[in-house]
Amino acid sequence: MFILSNLGRLPSEFDGQYFVPYLKHNNPQIRFWAIKNIGKLGNDSYLIPISNIVFNDTDPIVKRESVSTIGRMRNENAIPMLLTLLNDSNPEIVLQAIRALLVFSHVSNISAELKKLSNHPNEIIQTVIRKNFFSHQSTSNVQYSHVELPSFMKNVVVHGDVREVMQFVPDESIHLTFTSPPYYNARSYSTYPSYQAYLDFLDNVFKQIHRVTKEGRFLVVNTSPIIIPRVSRKYSSKRYAIPFDLHAYLIKMGWEFIDDIIWTKPETSVKNRNAGFLQHRKPLGYKANACTEYVMIYRKETTKLIDWNMRQYSKEIVENSKITGEYETSNLWHIDPVFDKVHSAVFPTELAKRIIQFYSYQGDLVFDPFAGSGTTGQVAVDLGRYFFMTEQIVKYIERIKEKLVYRPLLSKYNHCFLSLEEFEILSQGE
Ligand SMILES: C[S@@+](CC[C@H](N)C(=O)[O-])C[C@H]1O[C@@H](n2cnc3c(N)ncnc32)[C@H](O)[C@@H]1O
């Protein structure tokens, strides 16, 4: 083992026959290293002993290494074997076979076989095939380049139901959405006939957001499980795991999960649920004080890497948008909650600041469909981004006006606050 794993680079004339007996060794790690060393020689005369391993070895790691070694040989004689391996039940083996066959993808029957995997049950296989064969096909009706944004949406707040406003928002016009949706029926500003109706409402809104989001850009959603108090002493209160339930909808509509950030607040700032347990101390009656909220990060699914998004910006914008100095490196963000005199559920400017800095560039358009008191917009302007927000309750629109009035950068936009009708008209002029 020691010798096999430490041989390093081998001279081209090295006799690979030394390794062949080890391909039958009882220890899978020795078989693994024997294959790895044979692979370094790039000699196709070992194709047959290695193909025996491919089909007969029971160890998945040894088997995967043997397919990878065959791939590195780039030998046409291996093609029939690699095509057979496309039907293997282990997705890692299929992926290795795909990688090896992509070298021959200019051969029409090979590319035809590979394309058949675009609906493979394994999502990583799907992505590899779609990226290689179908990524140039775009179905959406995109009017703006990646950095551009519609001027009629720059620093605009629309008073209306987001579902109605969204019909006038062009495809792929938003760089980042950061929002905190209504918390089902836990707050006075929203009521839904049922939890399912609430999830259907969010499904509708986030599908629209997906349409208007630019390729490969981010959606950041702040939610937390909520509690609906019990009807009477005869019943228990009900808890709804909003972030977890919403997550399944978001994935299904084409958002890729990127990160879960936990926003923690001091325990003294949240409701105490421990009064009963503190007294009785009986198992099953424990209730944790809820000091956390979720900040879930998603990216609009694309075959392009994040580097592609970064490359769309000029050097100057990239330089000016860099995060300087200290920053939070973990996914645990300790931020004190804030309280607003008008709105009962605002998020702290510090939270918005981090999200906007980490997930957008200067000059980008940042959207908050559930604006509330307008924290997202206020912070976006301060960080040299543009905002677009919707809010359906008039007293919150007034609060946004109050908060934004101090933003000198905004003075040149006199069409900042619009009704749904005004927004529709402006959208048609663009
Ligand atoms: C959790 S609050 C957002 C608070 C905000 N993050 C802040 O810092 O002020 C959600 C907001 O969504 C608004 N809202 C709910 N349903 C809406 C809809 N269909 N269209 C537009 N706004 C809506 C509510 O009025 C509420 O102000």
Q: What is the pLDDT of residue 415?
A: 58
Do 302 and 392 have their domain in common? yes
For residues 111 and 184, state if they share a domain. Answer: no
> Which phi and psi angles does 222 have, rounded to 5°?
-100, 115
Mean local confidence (pLDDT), 313-342? 96
Shared domain for 70 and 214, answered yes or no, is: no
Same domain, 169 and 61: no
Q: Residue 407: pLDDT band by 50, 70, 90 thresholds?
A: low
CA–CA separation, 363 and 374 (whole Å): 18
Q: Lowest mean pLDDT of 87-101, 132-146, 296-310, 375-389, name the range.
A: 132-146
Instruction: Quote the pLDDT of residue 414.
Output: 54
Kindly write down the DSSP assignment for every residue of 145-165, as one continuous string. -SS---GGGTTEEEES-HHHH
Q: What is the pLDDT of residues 360-382, one digit of tens each?
A: 999 999 999 999 999 999 999 99
Q: Is 182 in the pocket of ligand 1 (CB under 6 A)?
A: yes
CATH number of the domain where residue 85 is located: 1.25.10.10
Q: Is 192 in the pocket of ligand 1 (CB under 6 A)?
A: no
pLDDT of 138 strictly over 60: no
Question: Please, are residues 221 and 244 in contact by the beta-carbon 8 Å criterion?
Answer: no
Any atom of ligand 1 within 6 Å of the Cβ of 189 = yes
**Token pair of 165, please?**
């406003």
Q: Which residue range(s) make up the domain with 37?
A: 2-133
Surface-to-core class of residue 157, CB atoms within 10 Å of its CB (0-12 exposed, 13-18 middle, 19+ buried): buried
Q: Is 164 in the pocket of ligand 1 (CB under 6 A)?
A: no
Instruction: Give me the pLDDT at residue 236, please.
Output: 87
- My answer on whether 157 and 127 are in the same domain is no
Write down the H helix ranges in 140-282: 162-165, 195-212, 242-252, 275-280
Residue 243, pLDDT > 80, answer: yes
Q: Are residues 83 and 181 in the same domain?
A: no
Helices vs strands, H then E, count in the chain: 18, 11
> Could you give the number of structural domains in the chain?
2
Q: Give the type of residue at 324.
A: T
3-state secondary structure of 57: coil
Output the CA 242–ligand 1 centroid distance in Å: 16
For helices 375-382 and 394-404, angle between their N-to-C axes, nearest 10 degrees: 20
Of 266, 246, 242, nearest to 257 (Cα)? 246
pLDDT in tens, 270-327: 999 998 999 999 999 999 999 999 999 999 999 899 999 999 999 999 999 999 999 9
In the listed set 81, 105, 133, which residue is the last one of a domain according to the structure?
133
162: closest CA among 399, 369, 372?
369
Could you tell me if residue 110 is inside a domain? yes
Can you state the angle between helices 47-56 and 28-41, rounded to 10 degrees?
150
- One domain, residues 205 and 316: yes
Tens of pLDDT, residue by residue over 153-180, are 999 999 999 999 999 999 999 999 999 9
> Is the minimum distance from the CB of 221 to ligand 1 under 6 angstroms?
no
397 lines ligand 1 (CB under 6 A): no
Domain presence at residue 207: yes
| Whether residue 180 sits in one domain with residue 118 | no
Q: Is 162 contained in some domain? A: yes
At residue 143 the predicted structure's pLDDT band, cuts being 50, 70 and 90, is: confident
At 16, list the tokens: 């690979």
Q: Residue 164 Cα, ligand 1 centroid: separation in angstroms?
A: 14
DSSP letters along 338-356, please? ---SS-SSPPPHHHHHHHH
**Selection from 48-57, 356-365, 413-422 with the highest mean pLDDT:** 356-365
Q: What percent of the chain has pLDDT over 70?
A: 96
Ligand 1 centroid to residue 391 C-alpha, Å: 6
Whether residues 50 and 198 fall in one domain: no
Does residue 138 belong to any structural domain of this protein?
no
pLDDT at 137: 53
Return the percentage of the chain with pLDDT > 90, whole number. 82
Token digits for 202? 């969010």
81 touches 70 (CB < 8 A):
yes
In a domain, 321, yes or no: yes
**Residue 408 falls within a domain, yes or no?**
yes
Q: Which residues lie closer than 8 Å to 168 by C-beta, 6 or more apart?
A: 423, 424, 427
Evaluate: CB of 343 within 6 angstroms of ligand 1. Answer: yes
Q: What is the mean pLDDT of the chain?
A: 93
Q: Is the pLDDT of residue 192 over 90?
A: yes
CATH of the domain at 174: 3.40.50.150
**Predicted pLDDT at 266:** 96
396 lines ligand 1 (CB under 6 A): yes
Closest residue by Cα to residue 300 from 368, 210, 178:
210
Which has the minimum average pLDDT: 97-106, 198-207, 400-409?
400-409
Same domain, yes or no: 129 and 176: no
In this structure, the answer to whether residues 106 and 213 fall within a common structural domain is: no
pLDDT the model gives residue 167: 97
CA 98 – ligand 1 centroid, Å: 47
Q: Within a domain: residue 146?
A: no
Res 234: pLDDT: 87
Cβ count near 349 (within 10 Å): 16
Contact 346, 403 (CB under 8 A): no
Residue 145 within a domain: no
Burial 303-332 (b: 16+ CB within 10 A, else e): beeeeebeebbeeeeeeebeeeeeeeeeee
Instruction: Provide the whole-model pTM.
Output: 0.86
For residue 411, pLDDT over 60 is answered with no
Neighbours of 69 (CB within 10 A): 24
Q: What pLDDT does residue 230 have? A: 85
What are the residues whose beta carbons fall under 8 Å from the beta carbon of 274, sequence distance 6 or more? 287, 289
Within this chain, do residues 159 and 279 fall inside the same structural domain, yes or no? Answer: yes
- Least Cα distance to 286 among 299, 295, 294, 277 occurs for 277
